[in-house]
Amino acid sequence: MGSLLSVLDVRRYYEVRRSVFSVEKEIVKAVDGVSFELEAGRTLGVVGESGSGKSTLARCLMFLERPDSGKITFDGVDLLNAGPAEIRKIRRKLQIIFQDPYSSLNPRMTVRDIIAEPLKFHRMIKGSESLNSKVIEILKSVGINDDFLKKYPHEMSGGQRQRVAIGRALATEPALVIADEPVSSLDVSIQAQIINLFIDIREQLNISMVFVSHDLNIVRFISDRILVLYKGKVVEMGERDQIFLNPLHPYTKMLIEASRGEFFLKNEKSSGHQKTGCVFYDKCSQAKDMCKTNIPDLKGSEAHRTACFQS
């Protein structure tokens, strides 16, 4: 089976000030040489703490941000060199669901209009009666009844808004959905419902997903394969059970321990990037002198790879 999505050596760097009071700038490598393949019908979980580059990678995949270098191929189309006509076709097949449904939904539009908008834009439905029937069908598929058709986003709960956002993404019958922290802003009791909805959608529609999250427990529940990011670099990647049952990279082990509540993992968002050597050197209990000056390659089998000299 060929890859639906192919990502090769994608990089996205930013120039930022060292501090509010400084004129000196440094380069932050938000995404630093990320590569992976995703087959149709499969779900890739992208996991890492805040500042690891997860959301930047998601935006690059949706061409909401243009990578500085690398190649992204979706359904045989080179996204970074595609023309306007190709991009329009790809937009229908490639959809994103954001973390905060309140800010991603137009507050001036009713639920009916929010769902109908992509159907009309891509000219998928003709006639108002057919359009209304399709909107109701989509809403029911995500657990929203037609009583909500005339409601506005502010009149719904967070979970209901996210269901509408998911429905909007599914309206165009996409081949790939990128979900960027789609449950992190919801109550824990609602998170499970939305995750189960994602699983139902994947099984019923055979949709591919890139599911971005800082929560390993959620990623384990929904993903087939997992990619672990740290400061923009892939430190481990492989089949879900390989990652969880036999984690090889010290950072992956730390994340798993943190997900079990065994210790608190600090937010590294503003800690900067290692200028030379392994990006995890300054936090690693297994680090050797060579780790400070050498960058480990991602090695191993297709089922399980890691970027660590000690593994």
Give 275's pLDDT tier (boundaries 50, 70, 90).
Answer: low
Beta bridge partners of 44: 210, 225
- Predicted confidence (pLDDT) at residue 269 exceeds the cutoff of 80: no
Tens digit of each residue's pLDDT (9 = 90 or more) over 115-141 = 999 999 888 887 777 899 999 999 999
3-state secondary structure 154-221: HHCCHHHHHHHHHHHHHCCCCCEEEEECCCCCCCHHHHHHHHHHHHHHHHHHCCEEEEEECCHHHHHH
Average pLDDT over the chain, rounded to whole?
Answer: 89
Please give the pLDDT value at position 283: 86
1 pLDDT band, cuts 50/70/90, is low
CATH for the stretch 1-39+49-75+216-311: 3.40.50.300
**Who has greater pLDDT, 109 or 2?**
109
Least confident of 13-17, 154-158, 226-230, 270-274: 270-274
Handedness of CA 275, 277, 279, 282 (dihedral sign): negative
181 against 128, higher pLDDT: 181
1-28 per-residue burial string, b: 16 or more CB within 10 A, e: under 16: eebbbbbeebbbbeeeeeeeeeeeeeeb
Task: For Cα atoms 127, 91, 41, give the angle at the middle one, nearest 5 degrees.
Answer: 100
Q: What share of the chain is helix, strand, coil (3-state, %, to 5)?
A: 40, 25, 35
| 187, pLDDT greater than 90 | no
- Give the integer Cα–Cα distance in Å for 249 and 236: 6
- Structure-block tokens of residue 39: 């087959």
User: Does residue 100 carry a pLDDT above 60?
Assistant: yes
Distance CA 64, CA 59 (A): 5
Residue 281: predicted pLDDT: 85
Judged by phi (left if over 0) then psi (alpha if -120 to 50, else beta), residue 129 lies in alpha
Q: What is the model's pLDDT at position 261?
A: 63
Task: Identify the pLDDT of residue 270.
Answer: 39
Q: Is pLDDT at 180 greater than 50 in this prediction?
A: yes
Q: What is the pLDDT of residue 86?
A: 87
Is the pLDDT score of 142 beyond 50?
A: yes
Residue 263 banded pLDDT, cuts 50, 70, 90: very low
- If you average pLDDT over residues 271-279, what whole number do you get? 68
Residue-level pLDDT at 245? 92
For residue 186, give every residue at least 6 positions away whose Cβ sits within 8 Å of its Cβ, in sequence order, or none. Answer: 158, 159, 162, 194
Per-residue pLDDT tens for 286-302? 888 888 889 899 999 98
Q: How far apart are CA 19 and CA 99, in angstroms?
A: 27
The residue ranges of every structural domain in the chain are 1-39+49-75+216-311
Confidence at residue 96, expressed as pLDDT on a 0 to 100 scale: 93
Percent pLDDT > 90 in the chain is 62
pLDDT given for residue 208 in this prediction: 95
CB 92 within 8 A of CB 122: yes
pLDDT for res 99: 85
Q: Is 305 helix (H, G, I), strand (E, B) or coil?
A: strand
The predicted pLDDT at position 217 comes to 87
The highest-confidence range among 4-8, 24-28, 201-205, by mean pLDDT, is: 4-8
Question: Is a pLDDT exceeding 50 seen at residue 45?
Answer: yes
